[in-house]
Structure 1
Amino acid sequence: MTLRPLLGAVAALSLAACAMLPQMRHEAAPADASLTAPLNPIPTDLTGYLAAADLDGAALLGPPPAPDSPRGLGERAHYDETRSLAGSARWTQAIADNDIWAGGALKTYSCAAGKAIGVETTPTLYRLLHRIEIDVRTIGKPAKDRFNRPRPMIGNDQPICVPREDWMKTNASYPSGHSMVGWSWGLILSELAPGSTDGLMAAGKAVGDSRVICGVHFQSDIEAGRTLASAMVARLHGEPEFQRDLARARKELAKAPAMSCPT
C-alpha cells in the first residue's frame, strides 16, 4: 500500500473511533469526590464465582490489532487526538468512571436504575457486583498475559486522566478489565431491573469509553472487554451460587430506596 492510501485509511479509522465515543466536550470540569478514589483494587476477602479455566478468553478474542496495521495506526492517532480533552468535563467523568472499587462508578448505575445501590442499601447486590469484578480479573488476566499489548501511554509523556504508575508498564492493555466490569455490571443490573436497561447499558458502555478518553486503553481493548464480559456473564448463569445470589439481589433491589439524579 502506498503512503497516501494508508494515511487515508488511518484518518478514516480515527474518525470512526471518534464516532463510537460520546461527543467530546470541553466545558470546565466539575468538582467530584471520586477524583480521590483508589486506582487499584481494594484488598478484600471476597472470591469470585469462576476459575480461570472456566473460559478461554484468549481463544475467544484472538489477538489485538498490530501496531502498524491500519486500525492500529488509527487507534494511536485517536489516542494523540483525545489528549486535548485533559481538564474537560468528559475527562472528569472518565476519572469518576475509573472508580469501580470504592463505589464511585456505581453512582451512574444507581441513577440509571432509580435505586440507591451500595454496601448499606443493597449489600447482597453490592457483594455480587464486587465478586464479578474479581471474576473479571480471573478471566481477563490470561488473555492479557497471552497478548501482552502495551498500553497507549507507555513510551510517551502525554496526559492521562489518572496518575502514571509502574504497574501500568506490566499490566497489559488488551482486553480492558474496566470495560469488562462496566459491561458485565450493566448486563446483570439490566436483568434485575429490565425497565432500566437503556440507562444501565449506557452506564456500562461509558465505563469502557472513559478508558479511551483517559488514555489508558485503545478502542479495541474496550471492544474485547465487552465481548469477553458477555461470555463471562453467560458462563456465570451456569453457577448455582451465582444464581442464588442473583435471586436475592433481585428482591433486594426491588425494595431499595429510590434515587433520583440531576440530568
Structure 2
Amino acid sequence: MRNLSTFVSLGLAAAIAFASPVLAEEKAAPFTDAKEVNLVNLLPPPPANDSAKTKQEIGQILTIQVTRTPEMEARAKADAEETIFRFAEVVDNPKFAKENLPKFSAFFDRVVETEAAVVDPAKDVWKRTRPHLLYPDLVKPAVPLSKSGSYPSGHTTVGTLMGVVLANMLPEKRDAIMARAWEFGWNRVIGGIHYPSDIEAGRISGISIAQTIMQHDDYKTEFDAAKAELRSALGM
C-alpha cells in the first residue's frame, strides 16, 4: 500500500511539473489599449433597452431565429472562436495552418489580444444587456452564451481587425477576406447573441484599431515578418 501511495504521489508531482509551464504561459501583449483607442469617445452610446431601436432589433433577431438553418447555426458556432484561421476557406491553401506559420500565428495572437484590451473597457462602461438576457423567454441563442456587455461586439471588432490586417498581407484576396470578416461579425446576430447595432459599432471599432496600430513601430516590424512568412508558405 505504501508503494502504491508513493507511486501516486510521484505521478501527481510529475503531472504538476509538466503542467506548470502551460499554466505560467503569458498572454500575448496587445498592440494598443483603451487609453489610445477610447471607444467611449469614438462611438455613440448604444440604444436604451426600452428604446424603439432595441425593440426593432429584437424583432430582427426573432425573425432570424425562426429562419436560420442548421448550417447557419453551425457556422455561427464555429465563428465563436476568435482565430485568424477562421479565414482558411478564403485563403484557400492547405499551408494556411498554425503549425506552418509560427511568426504569423504569434503576430495574430497579439492582434486578438488588442481587441480585448480596447473593447472590454467600453463594454464595462455601457453594459448593454444582451438580447437573450433582456428577453430570456423569447431569444434562444445558438452559440455559447456571454454575460458581458453587448456593445460593441468584440467578435465583430476582432473579425474586422483581423480581416483588415490579413487583407493587407494578401491584397489579391482583399474582397473575399473582407466579405468573410463581415460575415464573422453578422454571425453573432444569427447566433442570437448580439444586436445589429452592436455589429455596426464593432466594425467601426475594428477599423479604428487597425488604423491606430498600423502606425506603431512594433506592429510594422512584426507585420512585415508575418507577411513574409505567410506569402512564402503560400507560394506567393
TM-score, structure 1 normalization = 0.74
Choose the corresponding residue for 1:207, options 174, 184, 196. 184
Which residue in the other structure is 1:62 paired with?
Answer: 44
Which of 30, 52, 68 is the aligned partner of 1:48? 30
- Stretches of structure 2 that go unaligned for 5 or more consecutive residues are 1-24
Partner of 1:137: 116
After TM superposition, the structure 1 = structure 2 runs for residues 128-167 of structure 1, keeping only pairs within 5 Å, are 128-154=107-133, 155-157=135-137, 158-164=139-145
CA distance in 1, matches of 2:101, 2:30: 18
- Richer in helix (by share): 2
RMSD: 1.8
Cα distance change on mapping 1:209 and 1:198 into 2, 3 Å: same
Q: Give the fraction of aligned pairs with identical amino acids, expressed as a percent.
A: 28
Contact 1:85 1:91 in 2 (8 A): no
Whole-angstrom CA distance in 2 between matches of 1:118 and 1:72: 40
Closer/same/farther in 2, CA of residues 238 and 257 from structure 1, 3 Å limit: closer
Give unpaired runs (5+ residues) of structure 1. 1-42, 259-263
| Conserved? CA contact 2:127–2:151, under 8 Å | yes
2:115–2:158 Cα contact (<8 Å) kept: yes
| Mapping 1:1-263, distance limit 5 Å | 44-85=26-67, 88-101=70-83, 106-107=85-86, 109-115=87-93, 116-154=95-133, 155-157=135-137, 158-164=139-145, 168-169=146-147, 171-257=148-234
Q: Structure 2: how far apart are the matches of 1:119 and 1:87?
A: 30
Higher Rg of the two aligned structures: 2
Amino acid across the alignment from 1:106: F
Shift of 1:208: 0.4
Alpha-carbon offset, residue 87 of structure 1: 5.5
Q: Report the CA distance between 1:246 and its aligned residue.
A: 0.5
Distance in 1, Cα, partners of 2:201 & 2:170: 25
Contact 2:49/2:129, CA 8 A, preserved across alignment: no
